[in-house]
């Protein structure tokens, strides 16, 4: 079977994608330096798929060390690139760290894939952040919407990476690229063996919700209830991480089958949920009441962000169809597993 390289293999989305690739019959090799993840994630993957995946601990910014992975596994035919720092606030505080890591890892991967001399298929982990931060965007957002002004160094690295990949596809006839722009990944594997495991204080809503429900936090803050939405809270497109992982499998399959040189897909549900709706759904799914309070608006928050996922639905034959209660229950089961 074809071998797929996963960078950032121990990360949140990388680990779930490995599970889906193995389930689909692919051989994988994962790489990670554990700068924002844990080696324990590999144990969780093994429990789910029933075998230890091939894995190399390596920093993808170290090109010489990274190259040894390709020497050890010369049968790599595709790569899915997750290895990047991803916290907006941290990127504002430490921009050089983000530019150095997020861009150099991509450049090294492209160089090493192209140097193989045969078809080099790369799926790039991008984000809806490339559309910028504007309340004038028409919802749901289509892939044809031009990139907006970057709101953070993190967002800028995603924009730059997409532009770099476009130039590289033009320069190298053997390079094929599919870009997946995620909206808001949430949830955990239904087994509760892997899930979202932020280091330090979580910045994403669902881990804050589950920590509040578990009593690790006194209260959840809802930032603003006076927006122009049905209940006054912000609306986002929350995509189940397992559904998101399956989109990567579909993208890889299409690249192998059709030899697609370049394509871009939004990966979301196409349906927005407000923060208060998400809280209500969590309480319904788990039976646990959340202690929350309305806090002042956060500077920079946009009212609504929602994907037009029709292109992925039609061309990739993919859809995000897991009920939100099941998604939130998976996140709660994961939180409970961490507390054991």
Catalytic annotation, residues: 154
With b meaning 16 or more CB within 10 Å and e meaning fewer, what string describes 62-74?
A: eeebbeebbeebe
Cβ neighbours, 10 Å, residue 125: 25
Counting Cα atoms < 13 Å in the Cβ hemisphere of 151 gives 16
* Cα–Cα–Cα angle for 266, 70, 124, rounded to 5 degrees: 10
- Do 188 and 195 form a contact (C-beta atoms < 8 A)? yes
- Do 22 and 47 form a contact (C-beta atoms < 8 A)? no
Closest CA to 41 of 241, 180, 319: 241
Q: Alpha-carbon distance 79 to 69, whole Å? A: 12
Residues contacting 63, CB < 8 A, separation 6+:
108, 111, 112
Q: Alpha-carbon distance 112 to 57, whole Å? A: 17
Scanning 259-302, the segments in alpha helix (DSSP H) are: 275-286
Scanning 115-263, the segments in alpha helix (DSSP H) are: 153-171, 205-213, 241-258
Indicate the Cα dihedral angle 176, 181, 185, 188, nearest 10°.
Answer: -10
Q: Alpha-carbon distance 131 to 264, whole Å? A: 13
CA distances, 315 to each of 79, 176, 255 (Å)? 20, 17, 12
């Amino acid at each position: 079977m074809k071998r797929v390289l996963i960078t950032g293999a121990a990360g949140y989305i990388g680990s779930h994608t490995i599970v889906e690739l193995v389930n689909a019959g692919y051989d994988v090799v994962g790489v990670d330096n554990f700068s924002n993840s844990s080696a324990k994630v590999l144990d969780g993957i093994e429990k789910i798929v029933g075998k230890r995946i091939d894995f190399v601990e390596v920093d993808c910014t170290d090109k010489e060390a990274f190259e040894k992975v390709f020497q050890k596994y010369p049968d790599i035919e595709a790569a899915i690139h997750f290895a990047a720092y991803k916290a907006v606030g941290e990127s504002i505080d430490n921009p050089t760290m983000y530019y150095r890591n997020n861009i150099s890892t991509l450049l090294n991967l492209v160089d090493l894939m192209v140097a193989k001399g045969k078809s080099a298929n790369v799926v790039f982990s991008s984000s809806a952040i490339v559309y910028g931060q504007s309340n004038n965007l028409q919802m749901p957002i289509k892939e044809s919407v031009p990139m907006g002004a970057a709101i953070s160094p993190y967002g800028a690295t995603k924009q730059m990476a997409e532009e770099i990949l476009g130039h590289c596809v033009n320069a190298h006839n053997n390079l094929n690229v599919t870009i997946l722009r995620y909206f808001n990944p949430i949830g955990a594997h239904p087994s509760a063996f892997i899930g979202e495991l932020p280091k330090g204080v979580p910045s994403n809503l669902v881990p804050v919700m589950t920590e509040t429900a578990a009593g690790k936090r006194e209260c959840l803050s809802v930032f603003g209830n006076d927006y122009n939405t049905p209940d006054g809270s912000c609306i986002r497109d929350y995509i189940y991480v397992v559904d998101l992982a399956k989109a990567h499998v579909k993208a890889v399959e299409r690249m192998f089958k059709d030899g697609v040189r370049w394509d871009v897909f939004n990966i979301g549900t196409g349906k927005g949920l407000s923060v208060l709706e998400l809280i209500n759904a969590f309480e319904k799914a788990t039976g646990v009441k959340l202690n929350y309070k309305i806090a002042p608006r956060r500077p920079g928050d946009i009212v609504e962000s929602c994907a037009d996922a029709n292109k992925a639905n039609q061309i990739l034959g993919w859809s995000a169809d897991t009920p939100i209660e099941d998604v939130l229950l998976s996140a709660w089961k994961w939180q409970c597993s961490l507390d054991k």
